[in-house]
Structure 1
């Protein structure tokens, strides 16, 4: 009679590799198990390869339970190993992304709505449509109701608040209608048809191929890649569409529901645990065929993945900085390669990394040159703020405010863009000069006047705004310096008191339902002036929005970030593209104190090719990404001197005999104190051809790092704070 079998189990903890356990039966790789670890039990996955064998058989602990979960497929395990090696992260930390929501072995119920048996006091045509639909179809999920009736999320919420609808649990998998690839076939332009046919052919080939879908704002990129999605649905394959912002999901869901007759499954951090488990199970067993979500949707357990789409691929929201540092766009390409399916990267302002891959022939290039439906691109003008200054204490040029008044008189809408939340970024004492800082971070507290609070946007520290200076005690001496969106809203109220205003920022609205209601209000012309951060810069279509004003186009240009110019060009081009997407022509006015800067001139001329060529030449000249490699090493700890000592030791022991391999630093990080921990940075620069991970592993393994000091490795860093 043979004894227990030794197996390797990968657990979601920062070990160098799998741990050995004893098991009464032979379990195939990918099986989810529960194993003892110290005094607790943790979830793990039976891993490929032979067990390590270092622990004697007599000391092996036994697997506690075999979980009734769909196994982790071999392509997922290969992707996990690849990602761990590339990011130089413990594989167990990558595993966390895969099992984050997979903690319930039973499908969870979905909340829907049913009739309460009484009509609301105010019965509008839209409300009547919802009530009639539910009377005929019975209880349904909110997304299904919205897709079937075409009403806004605000109508549904109003019926719930009026007591006309009651929440009810639905059987999620059985209740969710499956998308139909031929539900509403679109009329595509010639350019769209060519691009759609090429992507659909790649889907039919069931093999890896990467595409850049490159189209000007409003060119119909979404409608085009939907035809590739339809091709995958016809083959019974699964699709995941990645978006950089949760805020984009509401509008995209409506468009998908209109095209396919059913809303996609949604995946993002704002979902309840119950909803996350439901989607995870549906993806794993094949009941869910189409998922739209944030970057973490890439780690769902697809059993038959046929297509990955990364929309707004240039957006830095795809970059994960905490924990395992990775870029969702790049990992999407890797997963598509391992799964053997096409991947589509869509953008009006592609990243230099993606353009370099097109240039090298690794990605196909599909171009949409014109706006869909005959709409024209907006006229763009730069306002030199030295020649057109605002009135004292204001931040909007008189040229912009006159244009806003003219737009309002025509019954059209204005969007003012400033990528800064709150009322003011700095609160200063005019008596002693004291600046109110965060006690946990080397950052100023941002005033949020609507909440009468000062807040740190890095750690979340919040205090009421004091009446007196905390340094000198002078009463009523604190003044707000600089503008945030709340201050611009206050200025608009003064210059255009009749205008209906709406602030759109991540901290002024609630979850996706509130955002959907806000976007509905704009579409329904219930708002005249929108004041927003980057949440409004992409993915939205408002037919009557004809004027865009960029309040501070120079913001971030002098920060020393190698991607600052690229980011400003992308973000400004995207926000300008919100204007004139309907039948009415659009216009953009961009305020700048440095109108001669190369990126500002390129924006004014809509000269993407010229900007890209200049940026590429500069990057090539200095060996910077995408033509060179960067790796950031961030050391942090409670003792500033100790962290710097470790950084110096790390720099002294760095390899010096490898051509082109340089280590810069250590130096205090620009944000040198974050959440109470002091931070020091080193930056590795290397040639593109060098396997930088292979060089760095033995070097870093040889440097002792005290327990109080934490090392984070960021391969291909995007932020340098």
Structure 2
């Protein structure tokens, strides 16, 4: 093997325990060495696997190194900058490179190859060898035919007689035949159709010799300046495809392939006038513009009340970036927000805009990815994963509603898009703008420390007032024996809005019809058999469903435990609320927006369009309805169970409740009419509710920060959750205890102060079983994140060496939930 013809590759197999790089040799007869970032096909553990070339390095034992089988791409799909970012992400989020690759590559690129062979030895010697094989005459005859067709070019390997297969390696080893793997087109590719034009040599004189149908086609194509698809020709002329075939055979038409664009946008871009900024908006934009012109890394926190015009500041900042030749990414927290955001961005920047989110088809995502990669678009709008858009000249990233927990991925790789955005801006000397009416405590604290530059918008656009907040104390409703989910106050306000033809939004952050089912005879609650959670009743369809593993069952007529008929449905979900609203207001047009009604492609956009056209009077739903909807005809927001989130065993419960309620309240009063928010709660004295009512945001942040500091929670420390899960409860407990013990020993060896890392646990997770996997966790608090990044993976490796018996270990830094 030749020196210098070795590469290190990241083998892209999900079952590999780590992300070590493997050495491979480039065959001597290859005229080139694949560049880093290229996909290759390699032998691995007795099979073929896709890998990414990560670098070139001479191996320690070159005689054991296997050859690369094929190069799968003409040009590298990953840039050196992207590969460096993947290395950083793998360390930062305790995962493997393989876990990250799909975020950076276009969809549908699974390696597809065909086995090929070519003649490399002298034919006469090969024939002599063939004649000596102990095979039946008819088999030898078939082989001679197959081998006679071989040339110096690789051709697909034909179906060989079974008797010959044991001898194929003998031919390869003796140098008569060489076998390779040739890449085929990926499953997802650009959409193409056959198209036709008149051949250059076609003459009008020839038309006289054509049939009437052929003349129709020729006359139609004579008026066209570009190739026309088969479908269009047949539709315009009324002929069949055989007519086109006959014209091609006579040399009168030229057949070509036409690439059709998959358009993910359902509405055309309609240009809109650029509004004039108020003084606060102009001041904020001026600072962002100055940072863009300096060409240095800068990070801003744009803190503006709901309806203050943050989006317009974003759009004009993007316009400035484009003037400077920079690309921009605009992140939104929910797919539900993407249609309206895309509409506004495309109205400003037209065809230079791409969209990127999971609701697109695989083909649409494939084409959008290549448009970004090739520099055909300048602005990308999308949800969390759009932060990895392959823009070649990134200069600006907008993170709208930056406080939203949906920017944190809950599955491996557990990255936070906001942190990734900052790292990208740092590497590209770009500008990061975090925007929110209710910033996360981490961002507020970073602003106080000077890590973020604060920008403030205190007034709504056109001086419109913030909505008035009215509290309904549900304890008093209970005393008055009013047990309906809608209080008389809220019903009365809804009726007034319907009478005035205004729109209403109702928030209830619980899906389904009833939240649990209880047997009143024995007290048993129906739970999921695979998870330690109650089943939620969904009336449409008539099932009990687990919201963790999607297990479903038909609601029983009798209690499964005591056979009693006394089964009762408790709690309210969005389905039940929809039914009550429809009953209470039979003439109102009611729509529901939750995970159950928005699972179909385009469903978010459909509901949004109906709202804009005022085809919906009352929109109810989960937290989706609280985010980003800018509808001037909405004058009432009802929050049905404001304190539901406060009862969760989560240190972020108060922050998340305050943010959700404030965002929901901000949907009201964005037009010419004043807005009202009705808040139903059993806990009106809680500081998050009081801050909402009094609109005293600063008071809430002061109190919540003081609580976090006293309890040593983020943002004053890094919280790391190490989760152990597996089907064997004993093995899970043992692994959790052993891992925690190994960590304590590792810390003791470093002789670090006890306060360096606080260890809590191991202990059962709050939901102890999900999908038939038992769950324990250990929580770590530390200010030394770099130490944790180095130390924790080593402890996992140490436990691997002692066999962890099928227990999965997940390390999650700053999780948004510890359930």
Q: State the distance in 1 between where 2:535 and 2:613 align.
A: 36
Match of 2:415 among 287, 308, 326: 326
Match of 1:460 among 525, 528, 550: 550
Unmatched tracts of structure 2, length 5 or more: 110-184, 194-226, 229-257
Q: State the distance in 2 between where 1:452 and 1:110 align.
A: 44
Number of the residue aligned with 2:169: none
Structure 1 window deviating more from structure 2 (424-433 vs 651-660): it is 651-660
Number of the residue aligned with 1:30: 37
Asked if residue 97 in structure 1 is aligned to residue 142 in structure 2, the reply is no
Secondary structure of 1:88 counterpart: coil
Asked if residue 398 in structure 1 is aligned to residue 488 in structure 2, the reply is yes
Residues 296-343 of structure 1: CA deviation (Å, up to 9, x unaligned):
112232211121111111000111111121211111111221122111
- TM-score norm. by structure 1 comes to 0.87
Q: Displacement, 1:175?
A: 11
Residues 509-536 of structure 1: CA deviation (Å, up to 9, x unaligned):
3435222221222222222221111111
Q: Are the structure 2 counterparts of residues 235 and 415 from structure 1 closer, same or farther at C-alpha, using a change threshold of 3 Å?
A: same
Asked if residue 684 in structure 1 is aligned to residue 780 in structure 2, the reply is yes
Match of 1:554 among 628, 636, 643: 643
Residues 646, 705 of structure 1: 8 Å contact kept: no
- Aligned ranges 1:92-491 → 2 under 5 Å: 92-99=98-105, 101=107, 103=109, 108-109=190-191, 171-172=260-261, 184-262=273-351, 264-389=353-478, 392-475=482-565, 477-491=566-580
Asked if residue 708 in structure 1 is aligned to residue 806 in structure 2, the reply is yes
Q: Are the structure 2 counterparts of residues 93 and 57 from structure 1 closer, same or farther at C-alpha, using a change threshold of 3 Å?
A: farther
Q: Are the structure 2 counterparts of residues 535 and 181 from structure 1 closer, same or farther at C-alpha, using a change threshold of 3 Å?
A: closer
Match of 2:620 among 524, 531, 552: 531
Unmatched tracts of structure 1, length 5 or more: 112-137, 140-168
Asked if residue 43 in structure 1 is aligned to residue 50 in structure 2, the reply is yes
Q: Are the structure 2 counterparts of residues 463 and 68 from structure 1 closer, same or farther at C-alpha, using a change threshold of 3 Å?
A: farther
Secondary structure of 1:712 counterpart: strand
Number of the residue aligned with 2:201: none
Residues 256, 262 of structure 1: 8 Å contact kept: no
Residues 547-594 of structure 1: CA deviation (Å, up to 9, x unaligned):
111111111212221111110011110000000011100010111111
Q: Are the structure 2 counterparts of residues 688 and 563 from structure 1 closer, same or farther at C-alpha, using a change threshold of 3 Å?
A: farther
Residues 269, 346 of structure 2: 8 Å contact kept: no
Residues 254, 263 of structure 1: 8 Å contact kept: no
Q: Displacement, 1:32?
A: 2.9
Residues 23, 62 of structure 1: 8 Å contact kept: yes
Q: Are the structure 2 counterparts of residues 356 and 705 from structure 1 closer, same or farther at C-alpha, using a change threshold of 3 Å?
A: farther
Q: Tell me which of the two structures has the higher relative contact order, counting C-alpha pairs closer than 8 angstroms and 6 or more residues apart.
A: 1
Structure 1 window deviating more from structure 2 (682-691 vs 318-327): it is 682-691
Q: State the distance in 2 between where 1:333 and 1:27 align.
A: 32
Number of the residue aligned with 2:23: 20
Q: State the distance in 2 between where 1:705 and 1:310 align.
A: 42
Secondary structure of 2:810 counterpart: strand
Q: Displacement, 1:622?
A: 2.4
Number of the residue aligned with 1:589: 678
Q: State the distance in 1 between where 2:49 and 2:294 align.
A: 41
Number of the residue aligned with 2:90: 84
Number of the residue aligned with 1:9: 9
Q: Displacement, 1:286?
A: 0.9
Residues 247, 512 of structure 1: 8 Å contact kept: no
Number of the residue aligned with 2:70: 64
Residues 618-648 of structure 1: CA deviation (Å, up to 9, x unaligned):
2122221111111100000001111001111
Q: State the distance in 2 between where 1:715 and 1:387 align.
A: 42
Q: Are the structure 2 counterparts of residues 262 and 374 from structure 1 closer, same or farther at C-alpha, using a change threshold of 3 Å?
A: farther
Asked if residue 658 in structure 1 is aligned to residue 752 in structure 2, the reply is yes
Q: CA RMSD in A?
A: 2.7
Q: Displacement, 1:60?
A: 2.4
Q: State the distance in 2 between where 1:176 and 1:57 align.
A: 54
Residues 379, 586 of structure 1: 8 Å contact kept: yes
Q: State the distance in 2 between where 1:479 and 1:176 align.
A: 46
Residues 182, 230 of structure 1: 8 Å contact kept: no
Residues 643-695 of structure 1: CA deviation (Å, up to 9, x unaligned):
00111112222224432112111111111111111111100111357632223
Q: Displacement, 1:358?
A: 1.3
Structure 1 window deviating more from structure 2 (205-214 vs 441-450): it is 205-214
Secondary structure of 2:477 counterpart: coil
Q: Displacement, 1:234?
A: 2.2
Residues 23, 65 of structure 2: 8 Å contact kept: no
Q: Displacement, 1:43?
A: 3.1
Q: Are the structure 2 counterparts of residues 175 and 387 from structure 1 closer, same or farther at C-alpha, using a change threshold of 3 Å?
A: closer
Q: How many residues align?
A: 663
Secondary structure of 1:556 counterpart: helix
